[in-house]
Amino acid sequence: MSTVPVTPPTATAPVATAASGPRPDQPRPAARATARTAGRRLWLTGLCLLGFLVVLALCTPLAGSPYTIHTDSLTSQGLPAGVGENGHLLGTDAIGRDLFARTLFGLRATLIIALTANLTSVALGAVVGLVAGFYRGWFEQVLMRIVDVFLSVPTVLSGLALASIVGRGTTGIIIVVTALYWAWTARLVHGETVRLRGRGFVEAALAHGVRRHTALRRHVLPHLSTILLNVAALNGAAVVVVGAGLSYLGAGIQPPTPELGNMLADGSSSMTYAPHTLFVPLVLVIATVLAFVLVAEGLNRRNPLSERRSWLDA
C-alpha cells in the first residue's frame, strides 16, 4: 500500500496593508513631529530677529540727525571717534557723523526696500505664474518665454543697467529689484499651478460648470500659500543682499542719505583706521539676511511634504 507524501505548509509572506504602517516614501509620524518642532523654533527665531530689527528701524527718529557733522568728535589727527567715545554709542564715521543715527536710518531704508520689493516681486510673479499655468495655450508660451528672458540675464549686470535707466534712489532700486526677482517666483508658481491644474478636484469643478477664474481662485490659489510664503522669505534674503550690493556699487541710494549698502562702501574706505564704520552696517546686513533665511527654513521644515534637504543639516 503506497502512501502519498505530505508536503509541509510553506510560510507565505505577509501581505502589506495600508494599516501596517507608513509607506517608505512617506515621513513617519515621529519624524514629522520632530521636523515641525524644529521648523517652529526656526521661524519663530527668525520672526523675533526680524521684529527686533523692525523695532530698531522704528526708533530712528529718537537717534538724532544722521547728517550732523560733529567736528569736536574727531581726534587731533582727524580720526573718527570710536565706539562709546565722546557720547556716541557706536562712534562716528570718517567725517564725524554719528554712526548710531546713520545705522538706524540705513537699516530703515534697507528694510523698506527689502519688504516693498519683495512684496511686489512675489505678487507679480505669482500672477504671471498662475495665469500661465492655468489657462495654458499660446498665452502660456508667450508669458513663459518672457520669464526665460528675465532668468537668463546676469543679476548684477542687469541691475546696474536698469538702475541707470530708472534712476537712483529708493523708488528706482525697488523697481530694479522687482524686475530682477519676479521671474523666479513666476517659474515656481507656474510649475505648481500646472500640477494642480491636472488634479481631480480641479477637473471636477470645471466639469460641473465652475468658471475658470473661480476655480483658479477657490481651488488652486489656496494650495499655493505654502510655496508663496517660502518664496517670499527666501526672496527677502536675496533682495537685502542685492539692494545693499547695488548701493555699495553706487547704483542705489546715494550719499549722504544713509543706507546699509553705501555705508559699507564708506566703511571699506576707512577700515584701516576705523574698522567699526564697516563692521556695524555689516552686522546688520548679516542679521537681516539671517532673519529671512531662518523664517524660510522654518516654514520649509514645517511642511511634511517637503523633500528638500535642509542646508542646516549639511
pLDDT digits (tens, 9 = 90+) for 19-48: 445 555 455 666 666 666 767 788 889 899
> What residues make up the domain containing 141?
104-304
CA distances from 233 to 25, 58, 162, 229 (A): 27, 21, 24, 6
The CATH number for 137's domain is 1.10.3720.10
Asked, for residue 170, whether it belongs to a domain, the answer is yes
- Helix (H, G, I), strand (E, B), or coil: what is residue 102? helix
Cβ burial of 133 (10 Å; 0-12, 13-18, 19+) is buried
Residue 98, pLDDT above cutoff 70: yes
Asked, for residue 4, whether it belongs to a domain, the answer is no
Residue 255, pLDDT above cutoff 50: yes
Asked, for residue 205, whether it belongs to a domain, the answer is yes
Could you tell me the three cell numbers for 183?
Answer: 521671474
Q: How far apart are CA 282 and CA 293, in angstroms?
A: 17
Could you tell me the three cell numbers for 163?
Answer: 538702475
Residue 277, pLDDT above cutoff 80: yes
Mean pLDDT of all residues in 254-261:
88
- Looking at the structure of the chain, the number of domains it has is 1
Report pLDDT digits (tens) over 204-235. Answer: 888 888 888 888 888 888 888 888 888 888 88
Q: Quick one: how far is CA 109 from the chain centroid?
A: 17
Report pLDDT digits (tens) over 136-192. Answer: 888 889 999 999 999 998 888 888 888 888 888 888 899 999 999 999 999 999 988
pLDDT greater at residue 57 or residue 199: 57
pLDDT greater at residue 37 or residue 255: 255
Asked, for residue 84, whether it belongs to a domain, the answer is no
Asked, for residue 108, whether it belongs to a domain, the answer is yes
Closest by alpha carbon to 243, among 124, 148, 141, 117? Answer: 117
Asked, for residue 292, whether it belongs to a domain, the answer is yes
Return phi, psi of residue 198, to 5°.
Answer: -90, 0
How much of the chain is helix, strand and coil, in % rounded to 5?
Answer: 70, 0, 30
pLDDT greater at residue 64 or residue 74: 64
User: What's the CA angle centered on 273, arms 270 and 279, to 5 degrees?
Assistant: 60
Asked, for residue 142, whether it belongs to a domain, the answer is yes
Return phi, psi of residue 98, to 5°.
Answer: -65, 125
Asked, for residue 9, whether it belongs to a domain, the answer is no
